[in-house]
Amino acid sequence: MRVHRLFPASTEVIDADDDGARDALARRYETPAPAWLRLTLIASVSGSAAGADGTSDTLTNPVDRMILGAIRSRADVVLVGAQTVRHEGYVLPRGRAMAVITMSGNLDGHRFGAPPEPGQLIVICPPAAAERAAESLGVPATVVTVDAVDGGIPMHTAIAELHSRGLTSIVCEGGPALAAQLLDAGAVDELCLATSPMVTASRVALFGDRAIADSRLRLDQLLMDDSSTLYARWRVIRHGDD
Our CA dihedral for 116, 129, 180, 117, rounded to 10 degrees, sits at: -10
Q: How many CB atoms lie within 10 A of CB 186?
A: 13
pLDDT tens track for 23-72: 999 999 999 999 999 999 999 999 998 888 878 888 999 999 999 999 99
Cis peptide upstream of residue 175 (ω within 30 degrees of 0): yes
**Residues in Cβ contact with 150 at an 8 Å cutoff, skipping those fewer than 6 apart:** none
- Expressed in percent and rounded to 5, the helix, strand and coil fractions of the chain are 25, 30, 45
pLDDT tens track for 70-123: 999 999 999 999 888 887 777 888 889 999 999 999 988 777 777 788 889 999
* CB-based contact 195:230 (threshold 8 Å): yes
CA distances to 67, 97, 139, 171 from 142, in Å: 28, 11, 10, 19
Task: Please report the sign of the dihedral spanned by the C-alpha atoms of residue 54, residue 56, residue 61, residue 62.
Answer: negative
H helix and E strand count, the chain:
6, 11
Q: Is residue 153 very low, low, confident or very high in pLDDT (cuts 50, 70, 90)?
A: very high
Please report the domains of the chain, with CATH numbers, ordered by start residue: 33-76+169-242 (3.40.430.10), 93-167 (no CATH)
Q: What is the pLDDT of residue 175?
A: 85
Higher pLDDT, 139 or 121: 121
Q: What is the pLDDT of residue 53?
A: 82
Tell whether pTM > 0.85: yes
Question: Residue 112's closest CA among 77, 143, 88?
Answer: 88
109: left (phi over 0), alpha (psi -120 to 50) or beta: left
